[in-house]
């Protein structure tokens, strides 16, 4: 088996583990669940991942990429801090109550108090998201586009906390808070925090 094919197989197993975690929960998933999702034997799974825990951590990390790596990549070519901030806020929320990556994060959050590795993953994601927002806010302030109502760290932490809070309401199927409503609620805070109407051409 070539190195590329082995790498592809590991990606397939990460996707299978992702589905198994959503179906059985982070603490309820077993090797046979992942094997079933992947259409393989348990031995074949162990060939690529001798430790199930390592596979589960990789699955959680892959699910997190959307909320940091993909967002920073999306705004990397933008020059306007207003556009960057609005796009970042809108891209940090679930697409709907059944959003698989957010359901994965919810599972991780439930297990984090009992698993130091999962807690570390969530803490790292949170800190990186805060830094992402801080960079946008400080750039906007330096350009004179934003007049910050508080220090950039405080505002950035609040923005991430609002993402988490409204994201949970969406996945909990709140009857009047969907992705669009949640984005507008977060933007309302961001407008006050930046003293900018945050109007974009999109």
| pLDDT for 65 beyond 70 | yes
Q: Is the pLDDT higher at 162 or at 103?
A: 162
Tokens (6 digits) for 47: 């060939």
Cβ atoms of 130 and 153 closer than 8 Å:
yes
Tell me the per-residue pLDDT of 68-80, one tens digit each, with 9 for 90 and over.
999 999 999 999 9
| % of the chain exceeding 90 in pLDDT | 79
Q: 122 φ, ψ to 5°? A: -70, -40
Q: Do domains 3-58 and 68-194 have the same CATH topology?
A: no
Q: What is the pLDDT of residue 202?
A: 59
State the average pLDDT over residues 156-175: 97
Mean pLDDT computed over every residue of the chain = 93
Tell me the per-residue pLDDT of 7-33, one tens digit each, with 9 for 90 and over.
788 899 999 999 999 999 888 999 999
The CATH code belonging to domain 3-58 is 1.10.10.60
Rg (CA), the chain: 19
Tokens (6 digits) for 35: 């094997």
Identify the weakest region by mean pLDDT among 3-17, 32-46, 48-62: 3-17
Q: Please tell me the pTM assigned to this model.
A: 0.88
Residue-range domain boundaries for the chain: 3-58, 68-194
* Yes or no: domain 68-194 corresponds to CATH 3.40.50.720: no
Tell me the per-residue pLDDT of 100-122, one tens digit each, with 9 for 90 and over.
999 888 888 988 999 899 899 99
């Amino acid at each position: 088996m070539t190195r590329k094919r082995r790498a592809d197989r590991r990606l397939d197993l990460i996707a299978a583990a992702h589905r198994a975690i959503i179906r059985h929960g982070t603490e309820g998933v077993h090797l046979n669940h992942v094997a079933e999702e992947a259409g393989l034997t348990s031995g074949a799974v162990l060939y690529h991942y001798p430790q199930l825990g390592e596979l589960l951590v990789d699955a959680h990390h892959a699910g997190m990429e959307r909320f940091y790596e993909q967002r920073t990549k999306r705004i990397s070519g933008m020059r306007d801090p207003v556009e960057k901030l609005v796009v970042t806020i809108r891209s940090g929320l679930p697409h709907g109550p059944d959003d698989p990556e957010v359901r994965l994060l919810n599972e991780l959050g439930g297990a984090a108090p009992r698993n130091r590795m999962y807690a570390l993953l969530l803490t790292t994601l949170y800190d990186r998201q805060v830094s992402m927002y801080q960079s946008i806010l400080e750039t906007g302030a330096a350009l004179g586009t934003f007049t910050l109502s508080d220090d950039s760290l405080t505002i950035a932490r609040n923005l991430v906390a609002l993402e988490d809070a409204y994201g949970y309401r969406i996945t909990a199927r709140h009857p009047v808070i969907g992705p669009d409503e949640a984005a507008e609620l977060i933007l309302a805070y961001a407008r006050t925090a930046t003293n900018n109407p945050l109007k974009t051409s999109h």
